[in-house]
Chain A
Amino acid sequence: MSDPKNNGTSRSNGVNPDKDVNAQNLPGQRGDQGETIRVQRGMFGARNGGDTSGYGGLVRTVRLPGESARPYGGWFDEVADELEGALEEQGLAPENAIEKTVVDRGELTFHIAREHLPRVARTLRDDPALRFELCTGVSGVHFPGDKGRELHAVYHLRSITHNRLIRLEVGAPDSDPHVPSIVDVYPTNDWHERETYDFFGLVFDGHPALTRIMMPDDWQGFPQRKDYPLGGIPVEYKGAQIPAPDQRRSYS
Chain B
Amino acid sequence: MSTSPASARDTTEGTVYTVTGGDWDEIAAAAKQADDERIIVNMGPQHPSTHGVLRLILEIDGETVTEARCGIGYLHTGIEKNLEFRNWTQGTTFVTRMDYLTSFYNETAYCLGVERLLGIEEQIPDRATVVRVLLMELNRLSSHLVAIATGGMELGATTIMIYGFRDREMILDLYELITGLRMNHAYVRPGGLAQDLPPGAVDAVREFVKKMRRNLPEYDKLATGNPIFKARMQDVGYLDLAGCLALGATGPILRAAGLPHDLRKAQPYCGYDTYDFEVPTADTCDAYGRFLIRLEEMRQSLRIVEQCLDRLAPGAVMVADKKIAWPAQLALGPDGLGNSLDHIKKIMGTSMEALIHHFKLVTEGFRVPPGQAYAAVESPKGELGVHVVSDGGTRPYRVHFRDPSFTNLQAMAAMCEGGQVADVIVAVASIDPVMGGVDR
Interface residues of A (CB under 8 A from B): 27-28, 30, 37-38, 60, 62-65, 104-107, 109, 133-137, 139-142, 154, 156, 158, 160, 163, 165, 167, 186-192, 195, 199, 212-216, 218, 223-224, 230, 245-246, 248, 250-252
CB distance from B156 to the nearest CB of A (A): 31
5 tightest A-B contacts by CB?
A: A252-B393, A188-B248, A28-B369, A139-B400, A28-B370
The total of chain B residues at the interface (CB under 8 A) is 55
Query: Quick check: is B24 within 8 A (CB to CB) of the other chain?
Result: no
CB distance from A240 to the nearest CB of B (A): 14
CB distance from A224 to the nearest CB of B (A): 5
Please provide the chain B residues from 244 to 303 with a CB less than 8 Å away from any CB of chain A in the complex. 245-250, 259, 261, 266-267
Residues of A within 8 A of B116 (CB): 105-106
Residues of B within 8 A of A60 (CB): 392
Of the listed stretches B40-48, B52-60, B73-81, B308-316, chain A binds B73-81
Residues of B within 8 A of A140 (CB): 400
Residues of A within 8 A of B372 (CB): 64, 104, 107, 109, 141, 154, 167
Q: Which among A140, A191, A230, A245 has the greatest number of chain B C-beta atoms within 10 A?
A: A191
Give Cα A245–Cα B395 distance, bound, in whole angstroms. Answer: 12
Residues of B within 8 A of A245 (CB): 82, 85-86
Known: A134-B248, A167-B374, A250-B393. 12 other contacts (CB 8 A): A27-B367, A28-B370, A30-B370, A104-B371, A107-B373, A136-B376, A191-B407, A199-B80, A214-B73, A215-B73, A251-B393, A252-B393
User: Which A-chain residue is minimally distant from B366 (CB atoms)?
Assistant: A27
Give Cα A165–Cα B81 distance, bound, in whole angstroms. Answer: 26
Q: Is the CB of B82 within 8 A of A230?
A: yes
Give Cα A30–Cα B371 distance, bound, in whole angstroms. Answer: 10
Query: Quick check: is B169 within 8 A (CB to CB) of the other chain?
Result: no
Q: Is the CB of A188 within 8 A of B247?
A: yes
User: A135-B248, A230-B82 are contacts. A28–B392 as well, Cβ < 8 Å?
Assistant: yes
Interface residues of B (CB under 8 A from A): 17, 72-73, 76, 78, 80-82, 84-86, 116-117, 119, 245-250, 259, 261, 266-267, 364-365, 367-374, 376, 383, 385, 387, 389-395, 397-398, 400, 402, 406-407, 409-410, 439-440
Give Cα A190–Cα B76 distance, bound, in whole angstroms. Answer: 18
Give Cα A205–Cα B139 distance, bound, in whole angstroms. Answer: 40
Residues of B within 8 A of A186 (CB): 246, 248
CB distance from A187 to the nearest CB of B (A): 5
Q: Is the CB of A213 within 8 A of B81?
A: no
User: Which A-chain residue is minimally distant from B245 (CB atoms)?
Assistant: A133
Residues of B within 8 A of A106 (CB): 116
Q: Is the CB of B407 within 8 A of A250?
A: no
User: Which A-chain residue is minimally distant from B116 (CB atoms)?
Assistant: A105
Q: Is the CB of A190 within 8 A of B410?
A: yes
Q: Is the CB of A37 within 8 A of B391?
A: yes
CB distance from B109 to the nearest CB of A (A): 12
User: Which B-chain residue is minimally distant from A167 (CB atoms)?
Assistant: B374
User: A64-B370, A160-B266, A186-B246 are contacts. A136–B81 as well, Cβ < 8 Å?
Assistant: no
Residues of A within 8 A of B397 (CB): 141
Residues of A within 8 A of B266 (CB): 160, 163
